[in-house]
Structure 1
């Protein structure tokens, strides 16, 4: 009995010693879960159907953040709703998938500049190569705060990299026949995916999917669609049918509305690979 009690005591001590990890959005949570499985289960901060752009923490979620040994976020320009919270967390207790600019986002104007007017795409999880690099950085961070589980983290990284290599190969093979097919995107949200798979984007209607297109934006997009015979328009699911119809009305082209976060998917280790495959399937359907 004493031996059994001792085993349970050691197990409980080890469980208490493992890092408490909180992750902002579902795709990043899935990626982190692949590296931490067997050690700890990260907590998901922003739940289904909550926009990371317009998100405000409830008291229970503030408690999660306060107790976190490590808070992982894609980039402040993605999780705009928690920018101030992220800025107030000590550097050693947070990790960005995309390295944050040195300047702080101290006011709404700066937040708009980073997410609205700026053309850079921070939906980095749509680039599997970038996620593999982040996974290595994450593993090193976890080892630094939890050296006892170093071998598990390293083993998980190796297994995850192999899964991602296979996923990259599958998606590239799937989309290879459509690399020259002309297409248009509503916003720059797909830029990482498009560049990685060398797809042929003729135009981006607006800089980000929060932006409502002007008459000029719409006319320019329609002109390009006609002159270049674009066959496909992709948008994120936040874009209303009316905005899409204003662009493609009376034009012979397909449209796919794509969920790039995976709101309806079950969170966990399988969510990210399934999300990327779903996105690839949507592109193929639109370009086919």
Structure 2
């Protein structure tokens, strides 16, 4: 007959107390889908960050919900681009997220930033500033910040779609891992391992996109708004204008006429819409020209959130450009 071992209740309690406890993941809130994807990649196996701007919503027109405010009030870490991208978040961060560390990416060191282009019909593909050496200081909403740049600019003069340069995506991953490790040292090894894996994936993605986009380098095209400058700069692409200066304001008839003339004069091969905004404007601009129309999505409106979103977003941009520009 087998004997069943019995342990006193006190002994069981001591055994459980001696077992290592799993560290609770910090509560992380991220503003938009591409940044959320990179943060989620670093947090895999430890926790999942909350996302504010979900689905096909645009940060340019988003309104904070009560559930968002609740998430911010309990957050340990909030990751966002900055007030020029997510204006809806500026005041709630100071009122609702008082306990959280705020990682403002536009204020972080080591990012490659490009000057915003003026107007809607750009005279050339030369951005004027490479910003790859020296230090760049600027003031933004009362904060002094240094960047990897060479001269002075206000945030309002800088393009904020920073994630569309894989070099910036790498830096965002590193910054996220550092912030998470500081908040949650018990899971530091997991964050470092995930970050290293993600950095390797970004490098492979970058090489893939460089090869895929060679056939369309230099072909002129027009975008809905100036969201793709980092992608263009990285892969030698040639956007010549945008339909809107700001995606939350409808362009005037005069502006549409000027863009149509630009398309015809430069023989732009394609005019791109975005899924979050009115496609009729793109048809209006392309009417009477030889340009085809396509769709570019800089934020992953139709993609499921999570670690896979960022590489899928970047591949989709490359595929759309190749399809519409005739590669």
Establish whether TM, by shorter chain, passes 0.5. yes
Q: Is the 8 A contact 1:265 1:271 kept in 2?
A: yes
Tell me the CA shift for residue 35 of structure 1.
0.7
Tell me the CA shift for residue 179 of structure 1.
0.5
CA distance in 2 between counterparts of 1:240 and 1:96 reads 30
Q: Is the 8 A contact 2:73 2:99 kept in 1?
A: no
CA distance in 1 between counterparts of 2:60 and 2:90 reads 10
| Compared CA separation, residues 152 and 219, structure 1 to 2 (3 A) | same
Q: Is the 8 A contact 1:76 1:86 kept in 2?
A: no
1:104 has 2:112 as partner: no
- 2:158 counterpart (112, 115, 120): 120
In the TM superposition, what are the counterparts of 1:223-242 in structure 2 within 5 Å?
Answer: 223-242=261-280
- Deviations, residues 153-193 of structure 1 (Å, cap 9, x unaligned): 11111100110011111111111111021212232111121
- 2:72 counterpart (60, 65, 69): 65
Q: Please tell me whether Structure 1 or Structure 2 has the larger radius of gyration of its CA atoms.
A: 2
- 1:175 counterpart (213, 222, 233): 213
User: Corresponding residue for 2:63?
Assistant: 56
User: Corresponding residue for 2:306?
Assistant: 268
| Compared CA separation, residues 103 and 181, structure 1 to 2 (3 A) | closer
Tell me the CA shift for residue 206 of structure 1.
3.0
CA distance in 2 between counterparts of 1:227 and 1:246 reads 17
CA distance in 1 between counterparts of 2:240 and 2:18 reads 61
| Compared CA separation, residues 193 and 244, structure 1 to 2 (3 A) | same
Q: Which has the higher helix share?
A: 1
User: Corresponding residue for 2:21?
Assistant: 11
Task: Extract unaligned runs of 5+ from structure 1.
Answer: 106-113
| Compared CA separation, residues 66 and 9, structure 1 to 2 (3 A) | farther
User: Corresponding residue for 1:222?
Assistant: 260
CA RMSD of aligned residues (A): 2.5
- Deviations, residues 70-109 of structure 1 (Å, cap 9, x unaligned): 011122222222221124444961112322864439xxxx
User: Corresponding residue for 2:47?
Assistant: 40
Query: TM-score scaled to structure 2, two decimals?
Result: 0.76
- Deviations, residues 122-173 of structure 1 (Å, cap 9, x unaligned): 1212111111112111211111112222221111111001100111111111
CA distance in 1 between counterparts of 2:197 and 2:182 reads 20
CA distance in 1 between counterparts of 2:105 and 2:17 reads 37
In the TM superposition, what are the counterparts of 1:59-98 in structure 2 within 5 Å?
Answer: 59-88=66-95, 89-90=97-98, 93-98=101-106
Query: TM-score scaled to structure 1, two decimals?
Result: 0.86
- 1:140 counterpart (178, 185, 190): 178
Moved over 6 A (4+): none
Q: Is the 8 A contact 2:165 2:230 kept in 1?
A: yes
Tell me the CA shift for residue 4 of structure 1.
10
- 2:33 counterpart (19, 26, 40): 26
| Compared CA separation, residues 195 and 87, structure 1 to 2 (3 A) | farther
Secondary structure of the corresponding residue to residue 206 of structure 2: helix
1:207 has 2:207 as partner: no
